[in-house]
């Protein structure tokens, strides 16, 4: 059973470009009320304009997800501005690949702080509202690298395996409140994520492919919900 998102308040992190931007545009078509998060204010504002042109109520909120105090202030702002929080899409992340001995502790710190701790802090900030509402949906954008690591992906995969663990544990804790927690694990996507130009990837998914899968997940309703989706390109090497 599907329920259109219309009027539900959806936070999307990493909405300034790539998968987050495509998701904002896809959900704007459902008339969701969007709160778009990222650090690049100009890019965020452009996405807000795009989503408003598609008919959505949409706000930009510049935020670095590594700033946990700012996240607390942010969640209060969303509640004051929109009245509630129905869906959180934890999409913001950074990725750096490299041989284990070439990755610095700063690289590890940046990836863990952004991809794992940022996701944890945002989830902690929105869950009290969802628990009170006895309804809500957290969608964690993990990766195929969160299910199997490859040579040079140690740090990135460690954060995405961490995302899978947090997701699975929260699924068990949150069922009693009617809160859905989903992990979405895409394969290669045509964005410039991790400094590898999207145009050089072989048969990648497009950001729109992932956005459609996210829309599917958040519109699934009734007694059922999607716990995990692995999304791979049909063709590949
Ligand atoms: N592309 C792929 O092949 C692929 C495959 C599997 C999974 N994924 C996952 O998909 C998600 C989106 O990736 P993408 O490909 O769309 O990458 P992208 O185009 O590089 O976008 C990443 C987004 O994250 C935001 N971000 C990064 N650090 C942030 C911070 N500290 N605070 C707030 N926002 C931050 C960026 O915004 P600002 O720069 O404005 O802050 C940007 O909007 C990530 O979770 C990634 O791990 C990607």
Q: List, in order of start, the domains of the chain with CATH numbers.
A: 9-231 (3.40.50.720)
Report the percent of the chain where pLDDT is more than 70: 100
Q: Can you state the percent helix, strand and coil of the chain, rounding each to 5?
A: 50, 20, 30
Q: Can you tell me the distance from the alpha carbon of 173 to that of 171, in angstroms, rounded to the nearest whole number?
A: 6
Residue 158 near residue 141 (C-beta atoms within 8 A)? no
Residue with CA at minimum distance from ligand 1 atom 20? 193
Look up the pTM and report it.
Answer: 0.98
Residue 55 near residue 24 (C-beta atoms within 8 A)? no
Q: Can you tell me the distance from the alpha carbon of 15 to that of 21, in angstroms, rounded to the nearest whole number?
A: 5
Q: Which atom of ligand 1 is nearest to the CA of 204?
A: 3
**Per-residue confidence (pLDDT) for residue 27, from 0 to 100:** 98
**Per-residue confidence (pLDDT) for residue 203, from 0 to 100:** 92
- Evaluated on CA atoms 153, 206, 230, 125, the torsion sign reads positive
65 lines ligand 1 (CB under 6 A): yes
Q: Which atom of ligand 1 is nearest to the CA of 144?
A: 6
Q: Which atom of ligand 1 is nearest to the CA of 141?
A: 45
Pocket test for ligand 1, best of 11, 18, 214 (most atoms within 8 A of CB): 18
193 lines ligand 1 (CB under 6 A): yes
Quote the tokens at residue 92. Answer: 């913001």
Residue 231 near residue 142 (C-beta atoms within 8 A)? no
146 lines ligand 1 (CB under 6 A): no
Whether 225 is catalytic: no
Place of tokens 């628990």: 131
**Per-residue confidence (pLDDT) for residue 237, from 0 to 100:** 66
66 lines ligand 1 (CB under 6 A): yes
pLDDT tens-digit map of 33-82: 999 999 999 999 999 999 999 999 999 999 999 999 999 999 999 999 99
Residues of the chain whose pLDDT is less than 70? 237
**Per-residue confidence (pLDDT) for residue 184, from 0 to 100:** 98
**Per-residue confidence (pLDDT) for residue 58, from 0 to 100:** 98
Residue 58 near residue 28 (C-beta atoms within 8 A)? yes
How far does residue 143's CA lie from ligand 1's centre (Å)?
11
Q: What angle do CA 63, 220, 56 make, to 5 degrees?
A: 45
How far does residue 1's CA lie from ligand 1's centre (Å)?
30
Q: Which entry of 59, 61, 97, 156 is annotated as an active-site residue?
A: 156
Pocket test for ligand 1, best of 117, 193, 205, 209 (most atoms within 8 A of CB): 193
CA distances, 43 to each of 18, 40, 137, 140 (Å): 11, 5, 26, 22
Residue with CA at minimum distance from ligand 1 atom 42? 14
**Per-residue confidence (pLDDT) for residue 124, from 0 to 100:** 98
């Amino acid at each position: 059973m599907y329920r259109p998102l219309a009027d539900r308040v959806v936070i999307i992190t990493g909405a300034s470009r790539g998968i987050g931007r495509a998701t904002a545009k896809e959900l704007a078509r459902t008339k969701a009320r969007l709160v778009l998060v990222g650090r690049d204010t100009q890019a965020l504002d452009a996405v807000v304009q795009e989503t408003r042109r598609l008919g959505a109520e949409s706000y930009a909120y510049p935020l670095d997800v590594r700033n946990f105090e700012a996240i607390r202030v942010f969640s209060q702002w969303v509640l004051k501005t929109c009245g509630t929080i129905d869906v959180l899409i934890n999409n913001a992340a950074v990725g750096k690949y490299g041989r284990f001995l070439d990755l610095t502790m700063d690289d590890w710190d940046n990836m863990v702080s952004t991809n794992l701790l940022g996701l944890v802090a945002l989830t902690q900030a929105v869950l009290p509202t969802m628990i009170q509402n006895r309804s809500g949906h957290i969608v964690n954008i993990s990766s195929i690298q969160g299910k199997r690591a490859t040579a040079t992906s140690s740090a990135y995969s460690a954060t995405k395996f961490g995302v899978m663990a947090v997701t699975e544990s929260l699924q068990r804790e949150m069922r009693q409140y009617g809160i859905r927690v989903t992990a979405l694990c895409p394969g290669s996507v045509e964005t410039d994520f991790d400094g590898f130009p999207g145009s050089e990837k072989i048969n990648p998914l497009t950001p729109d492919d992932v956005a459609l899968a996210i829309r599917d997940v958040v519109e699934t309703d009734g007694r059922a919900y999607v716990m995990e989706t692995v999304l791979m390109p049909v063709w590949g090497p």
